């Protein structure tokens, strides 16, 4: 077990395989916490739905950090967009970007949909993956202003394209995230939303084959997820 995970679960009294299974189900499938409680009960494991939530909040950030160190390189042509996520009864904005092949570049939950939010997302993405050659967006004025300001301030030469049909790749990719979020009936706090969305994005990237594996090795998505813990 990796050291960071051992530290966060040291006071948890369930077997690691039970905790990882519950957390993976929650991040990978459109299930509520009570669904997972019932599914575990059918397997002879008594665990409260609130306990599963605590496991997810503690474990997912550790596995997400492990994944970032093993993430495959992405392309230089990005598609950027944002989608709505309900947090504490209010709509917040999940900024996302994928490359031309549909691989996830990055994501960021923000309270507002404006120039500052778009620029913060771009700065984070560029910090992780370097400057792209081009970014395709829809007609968002805030996203356009953010890209132009980064070009101006940093001397970058990012080509800006505003063609809606080219942005269908990221708009379609939103659906995979929204499908998992829907049974959760909204998040109670911004912090929980940020952590759980990162876990959902993590599992989505694993399913898309973005976890770097030794050449020739093929593993199912579940095994890839569990491998992050060791």
pLDDT value for 217: 82
- For 197-210, the pLDDT digits (tens) are 999 999 999 999 99
pLDDT at residue 70 tops 80: yes
Measured from the Cβ of residue 112, the count of other Cβ atoms closer than 10 Å reads 11
- Give 165: exposed, middle or buried? Use CB within 10 Å, 0-12, 13-18, 19+: exposed
Residue 198 · residue 85 · CB < 8 Å: no
pLDDT value for 214: 83
Distances in Å between the Cα of 143 and the Cα atoms of 86, 105, 109, 191, 203 are 21, 16, 15, 24, 27
Q: Tell me, yes or no, whether 183 and 99 share the same domain.
A: yes
User: Domain holding 115: CATH number?
Assistant: 3.30.420.10
pLDDT value for 138: 93
pLDDT value for 29: 98
Q: Tell me, yes or no, whether 95 and 63 share the same domain.
A: no
- Give 127: exposed, middle or buried? Use CB within 10 Å, 0-12, 13-18, 19+: exposed
pLDDT at residue 222 tops 80: yes
pLDDT value for 186: 83
In a domain, 185, yes or no: yes
Q: Tell me, yes or no, whether 95 and 158 share the same domain.
A: yes
- For 13-57, the pLDDT digits (tens) are 899 999 999 999 999 999 999 999 999 999 999 999 999 999 999
pLDDT value for 33: 96
- Read off the pLDDT of each residue in 75-99 and give the average, rounded to a whole number: 96
- Read off the pLDDT of each residue in 121-132 and give the average, rounded to a whole number: 97
pLDDT at residue 185 tops 90: no
- Name the 3-class secondary structure at 93: strand
Helices assigned H by DSSP within 79-140: 115-129
pLDDT at residue 216 tops 80: no
Q: Tell me, yes or no, whether 42 and 135 share the same domain.
A: no
In a domain, 203, yes or no: no
pLDDT value for 163: 82
Residue-range definition of the domain harbouring residue 66 = 3-70+211-227
pLDDT at residue 164 tops 80: no
pLDDT at residue 155 tops 80: yes
> Can you tell me the distance from the alpha carbon of 230 to that of 215, in angstroms, rounded to the nearest whole number?
19
In a domain, 177, yes or no: yes
Q: Based on the structure, what is the number of domains in the chain?
A: 2
Residue 72 · residue 210 · CB < 8 Å: yes
User: Over the chain, what is the mean pLDDT?
Assistant: 95
pLDDT value for 41: 98
């Amino acid at each position: 077990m990796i050291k960071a995970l051992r530290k966060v679960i040291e006071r948890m009294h369930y077997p690691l395989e039970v905790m990882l299974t519950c957390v993976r189900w929650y991040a990978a499938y459109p299930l509520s916490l009570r669904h997972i409680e019932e599914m575990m009960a059918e397997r002879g494991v008594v665990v409260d739905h609130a306990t599963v939530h605590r496991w997810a909040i503690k474990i997912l950030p550790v596995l997400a950090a492990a994944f970032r160190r093993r993430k495959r390189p992405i392309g230089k042509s990005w598609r950027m967009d944002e989608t709505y996520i309900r947090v504490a009864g209010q709509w917040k904005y999940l900024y996302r970007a994928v490359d031309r092949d549909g691989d996830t570049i990055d994501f960021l939950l923000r309270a507002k949909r404006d120039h500052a939010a778009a620029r913060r997302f771009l700065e984070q993405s560029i910090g992780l993956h370097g400057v792209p050659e081009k970014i395709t967006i829809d007609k968002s004025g805030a996203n356009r202003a953010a890209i132009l300001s980064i070009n101006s301030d940093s001397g970058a030469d990012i080509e800006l394209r505003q063609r809606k049909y080219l942005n269908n790749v990221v708009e379609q990719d939103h659906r995979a995230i929204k499908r998992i979020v829907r049974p959760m009936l909204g998040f109670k706090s911004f912090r929980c939303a940020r952590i759980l969305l990162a876990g959902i994005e993590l599992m989505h990237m694993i399913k898309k084959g973005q976890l770097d594996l030794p050449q020739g090795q093929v593993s199912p998505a579940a095994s890839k997820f569990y491998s992050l813990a060791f």
